[in-house]
Amino acid sequence: MISIQHVYKTFAAPKASGKARRKGELDTSYTASVSANPALTASSAVQAADEAADALAPIGVDGSVHALSDINLEIADGDIFGIIGMSGAGKSTLVRTINLLERPTSGVIEVDGRDVTALSGVDLRAYRRRVAMIFQNFGLLAQKTVLDNVCFPFVAANGKVTPADRERALELLDCVGLVDKASSYPSQLSGGQKQRVAIARALACEPEVIICDEATSALDPSSTNTILKLLRDINRETGVTLVVITHSMDVVEKICNNVAVLEHGRVVEQGSVAKVFAEPQAEATRVLLGKVDWDA
Ligand SMILES: Nc1ncnc2c1ncn2[C@@H]1O[C@H](COP(=O)(O)OP(=O)(O)OP(=O)(O)O)[C@@H](O)[C@H]1O
Ligand SMILES: [Mg+2]
């Protein structure tokens, strides 16, 4: 079980932007997150930003980005949990805090009852092996064969690849239907095949959780279906928890059991896919579902 409690993430203003903003001069992205709070009016936004800066350093009016605000979610073991939202809503930031590629600015992320946010060194490396990630752009090493790509986690963990590791990697390639491509290079594969290699590589760590960040966004509908079916089958066979980030309600409907909708770094709606699709409450969900009257 992953329990995300009161998680905030603020990115400091890029240093390259030069001059710091003066107090009272609002960054637009921060204004968006402030105005997403129904308790705040536009006229109180500057004051609220100043107050937030006091409460949650380093939030302020200096151009810092309030990417996540008070996120509370529970993801059960074995679940296929969708996280959806428009571009910039905070989806990638949220999952990067789950596998600790980013540390939350504040809040707790408990995995099986243990707060992981302070892990470092050996413990952090061990934790990251429990939470694998696959991406839209596949993230394969171009100079390595398919087999060597799948073996990469063994190198990262142990500094070498044993014959047993190679055997396991071939089994995983068989599982994703690509054992005949073991000696090929990524450039010789289609997008769907590259993603299947990325899935095999993710499985090499025997993860408890696989995070899929827009894993099918670059694929045509047929390859998307192949990948979604593969992920669902792996979930059923191994019990691995899947966290699926997507813009596509179609993807959510096909494989997810539960879903959270993000907007301006906040969870605006969450629940079972059946319920959220049948009775969307938040405007952001209705927009994502295409249930808006554009002429209204
Ligand atoms: N490293 C960073 N430094 C500064 N700001 C960042 C950083 N990473 C993300 N952000 C900002 O945080 C906000 C959320 O970004 P995020 O990448 O999480 O959105 P997203 O929902 O994944 O969007 P998309 O659907 O386009 O991938 C955006 O305003 C983004 O510009
Ligand atoms: Mg993203």
The residue length of the chain stands at: 296
Q: Ligand 1: which of 30, 93, 249, 266 to mutate, judged by most atoms within 8 Å of the beta carbon?
A: 93
Task: Please tell me if the CB atom of residue 97 comes closer than 6 angstroms to any atom of ligand 1.
Answer: no
Over residues 183-196, the mean pLDDT reads: 96
Could you tell me which residues come within 8 angstroms of residue 29 by beta carbon, excluding any fewer than 6 positions away? Answer: 65, 66, 88
Task: Please tell me if the CB atom of residue 11 comes closer than 6 angstroms to any atom of ligand 1.
Answer: yes
Distance (angstroms) between ligand 1 centre and the Cα of 121 equals 26
**pLDDT reading at 16 higher than 70:** no
Q: pTM of the full predicted structure? A: 0.84
Distance (angstroms) between ligand 2 centre and the Cα of 263 equals 13
Which ligand does the CA of 63 lie closest to? Answer: 1
What are the pLDDT digits (tens) for 28-53?
A: 333 333 333 333 333 344 444 443 33
Which residue's CA lies nearest to atom 20 of ligand 1? 88
What are the pLDDT digits (tens) for 157-180?
A: 888 999 999 999 999 999 999 999
Q: Ligand 1: which of 7, 11, 31 to mutate, judged by most atoms within 8 Å of the beta carbon?
A: 11
Distance (angstroms) between ligand 1 centre and the Cα of 161 equals 36
**pLDDT reading at 283 higher than 60:** yes
Phi, psi of 96 (to 5 degrees): -70, -25
132 closest CA partner among 231, 255, 11, 5: 231
Domain count, the chain: 1
Could you tell me which residues come within 8 angstroms of residue 152 by beta carbon, excluding any fewer than 6 positions away? Answer: 141, 144, 201, 204
Distance (angstroms) between ligand 2 centre and the Cα of 182 equals 30
Over residues 213-217, the mean pLDDT reads: 93
Distance (angstroms) between ligand 2 centre and the Cα of 237 equals 28
Distance (angstroms) between ligand 1 centre and the Cα of 190 equals 28
Task: Please tell me if the CB atom of residue 84 comes closer than 6 angstroms to any atom of ligand 1.
Answer: no
- Domain-located, residue 222: yes
- Domain-located, residue 58: no
Task: Please tell me if the CB atom of residue 65 comes closer than 6 angstroms to any atom of ligand 1.
Answer: yes
Task: Please tell me if the CB atom of residue 258 comes closer than 6 angstroms to any atom of ligand 1.
Answer: no
Confidence of residue 64 (pLDDT cuts 50, 70, 90): confident
| Pair 261, 270: CB distance under 8 Å | yes
**pLDDT reading at 25 higher than 90:** no
Task: Please tell me if the CB atom of residue 29 comes closer than 6 angstroms to any atom of ligand 1.
Answer: yes
- Domain-located, residue 10: yes
- How far apart are alpha carbons 211 and 99 in whole angstroms? 9
Q: Provide the pairing of β-strand 106-111 with 209-213.
A: unpaired
**Residue type for position 204:** A
Supply the mean pLDDT for the chain. Answer: 85
- Domain-located, residue 25: no
Which residue's CA lies nearest to atom 1 of ligand 1? 11
- The sign one gets for the Cα dihedral 111, 114, 117, 119 is negative
- Domain-located, residue 146: yes
How far is CA 178 from each of CA 152, 200, 222, 224, rounded to the nearest angstrom?
A: 17, 9, 17, 16
What is the CATH classification number for the domain harbouring 128? 3.40.50.300
- Domain-located, residue 28: no
* Full residue range of the structural domain in which residue 223 is found: 2-20+63-288
Distance (angstroms) between ligand 2 centre and the Cα of 265 equals 12
pLDDT number for residue 90: 93
| Pair 258, 81: CB distance under 8 Å | yes
| Pair 7, 107: CB distance under 8 Å | yes
- Domain-located, residue 56: no
- Domain-located, residue 9: yes
